[in-house]
Amino acid sequence: GAVVSQHPSRVICKSGTSVKIECRSLDFQATTMFWYRQFPKQSLMLMATSNEGSKATYEQGVEKDKFLINHASLTLSTLTVTSAHPEDSSFYICSARKTVNQPQHFGDGTRLSIL
Amino acid sequence: AQSVSQHNHHVILSEAASLELGCNYSYGGTVNLFWYVQYPGQHLQLLLKYFSGDPLVKGIKGFEAEFIKSKFSFNLRKPSVQWSDTAEYFCAVMTTDSWGKLQFGAGTQVVVTP
């Protein structure tokens, strides 16, 4: 149980395009979803916290206009990297949890490469 | 600022050896503690968690961790590792004032040789 699906797993696109990444909780309702970014040989860095039906809360230093997050339902959150540039290339990971004191369950991640 | 520190970035050991990975955090209040594992090519999976009660927590695959409040530590242990334990291990802390957000350590890459 507690499966989180992330799609796509790999994206390669040109600089200036926008990329949407989906995160779905397949067998539970996720009141909260999180978006992380992981640089090579570094830990996961939280980008934003997304609660269903409300605006996402972004961590300091994360541009909300650059990384658009939508959490329209209890099973789906999307991250859109707008006008992506090579420095946005990274591994993006989502997680979802049922309630505050429940563990987070992670998706497989999306490798984003901007040429 | 709160932080999570994992002492070793890279550990290499032989099968049947014992494993201990250190994790320390800096936060004076109540914490929930987690160890996640990431096998090659797979997503992060929860190994074990501590919320309250017995500070010695048993997880999946023979792992255990001990919460020592006075040392702000939550070290992960396994008495006898297997080749299949080769993975990256992340310690994570959730504080009561963080609205459920996890703060991760940098991770420890564990390689078990046959």
pLDDT at B44 over 90: no
User: pLDDT tens for residues A64-95?
Assistant: 999 999 988 999 999 999 999 999 999 999 99
Within 8 A of A44 by CB-CB distance, chain B residues are 44, 90, 104
pLDDT over 90, % of chain A: 70
Please state, in angstroms and rounded to a whole number, the distance separating the CA atoms of residues B38 and A28: 22
Please state, in angstroms and rounded to a whole number, the distance separating the CA atoms of residues B95 and B2: 9
pLDDT at A2 over 70: no
Query: Is B49 in contact with A97 (Cβ distance < 8 A)?
Result: no
DSSP structural state of residue A107: -
pLDDT over 70, % of chain B: 96
Of B59 and A44, the structure prediction assigns the larger pLDDT to: B59
pLDDT at B11 over 80: yes
pLDDT at A108 over 90: no
- Range name among A66-75, B17-26, B72-81 with the lowest pLDDT average: A66-75
Q: What is the pLDDT of residue B31?
A: 87
Q: What is the pLDDT of residue A1?
A: 60
Please state, in angstroms and rounded to a whole number, the distance separating the CA atoms of residues A72 and B52: 33
Please state, in angstroms and rounded to a whole number, the distance separating the CA atoms of residues A37 and A48: 10
Mean pLDDT of B28-56: 89
Query: Is A44 in contact with B104 (Cβ distance < 8 A)?
Result: yes
Those of residues 43-82 in B touching chain A at CB distance below 8 A are 43-46, 49, 51
pLDDT at A40 over 90: no
Q: What is the pLDDT of residue B111?
A: 97
**Residue A37 touches chain B, beta carbons under 8 Å:** no
**Residue A44 touches chain B, beta carbons under 8 Å:** yes
Give the strand pairing for B10-14 and B108-113.
Answer: parallel
Please state, in angstroms and rounded to a whole number, the distance separating the CA atoms of residues B82 and B111: 10
Q: What is the pLDDT of residue A94?
A: 94
Q: Tally the C-alpha atoms within 13 A of residue A75's C-alpha that lie toward its C-beta.
A: 8
B68 CB neighbour count, 10 Å cutoff:
11
Amino acid A5 reads S
Query: Is B90 in contact with A43 (Cβ distance < 8 A)?
Result: yes
Query: Is B101 in contact with A103 (Cβ distance < 8 A)?
Result: no
Please state, in angstroms and rounded to a whole number, the distance separating the CA atoms of residues B33 and B94: 6
Q: What is the pLDDT of residue B1?
A: 63
**Residue B17 touches chain A, beta carbons under 8 Å:** no
Of A115 and A42, the structure prediction assigns the larger pLDDT to: A115
Which letter, b or e, does each residue of B83-96 get, where b requires 16 or more Cβ atoms within 10 Å of its Cβ? Answer: eebbbbbbbbbbbe
